[in-house]
Amino acid sequence: HYSTSSGIAGVRERTLIAVKPDGVQRRLVGQIVHRFEQRGFKLVGLKMLKASEDLLSQHYHELKKKDFFPYLLCYMSSSPLVIMVWEGHNVVQTSRMMVGSTNPAEANPGTVRGDFGIHVSRNVVHASDSVEGAQREIQLWFNHTELIDWDCCDHSSTYEL
C-alpha cells in the first residue's frame, strides 16, 4: 500500500553513499551524483576527505577477518573519498540496486559498478546495505551539523504526500 510507505517516515530514510578513491581519481563524482539527483533523491550531506585507516576499519568492522581487509584499508585510505548522505523513500534498497553487485564483473549494465567497474577491489562506490547500517555509517562519517534539513521544491512531483 503506497500511501503508508511514501508517508513522511519512509520519505526521510537516509543512506550513505561514498565515491571511493578510484571513482574520484577517474573523475566520476559528477556522474554518480547525477544518477542520484536524477532518480529523485535529496542530497542532505556531502564532503570530501582522506579517510584514516582507523575510521575505515570502524566502517568495515564486519570484514576485519577477510583476507582482503588490509588491502581494502590501504586502497580506501590512499586518496580522497567523496562521502554523501542521500534521503528519500526506500533510498537504502534503491541505492543498492543503482550501485549493483559488489563484484563489477557481475553487476548489471545500468548500475554504477556495471557501467564503470571491472574488478571487485576497484568498484567505484559504497552504498549502505540496510537502514540500520546506514544510520550507523552516517553517524560515523558525519557530524549532525553537517546534515542539512531542507525542503525540495519539487517534492509533490516526486511523492504523492
DSSP string, 48-89: EE---HHHHHHHTGGGTTSTTHHHHHHHHTSS-EEEEEEEST
- 55 is a site residue for ligand UDP (CB under 6 A): no
- 129 is a site residue for ligand UDP (CB under 6 A): yes
- 57 is a site residue for ligand UDP (CB under 6 A): no
Q: Pick one of 6, 90, 93, 102: the residue that binds ligand UDP (CB under 6 A).
A: 102
The DSSP output letter for 111 is B
- 120 is a site residue for ligand UDP (CB under 6 A): yes
Which lies closer to ligand UDP via its Cβ, residue 55 or residue 72? 72
Grid cell, residue 8, equals 513522511
Catalytic residue list contains 126 = yes
Annotation: binding site for ATP: 20, 68, 96, 102, 113, 123
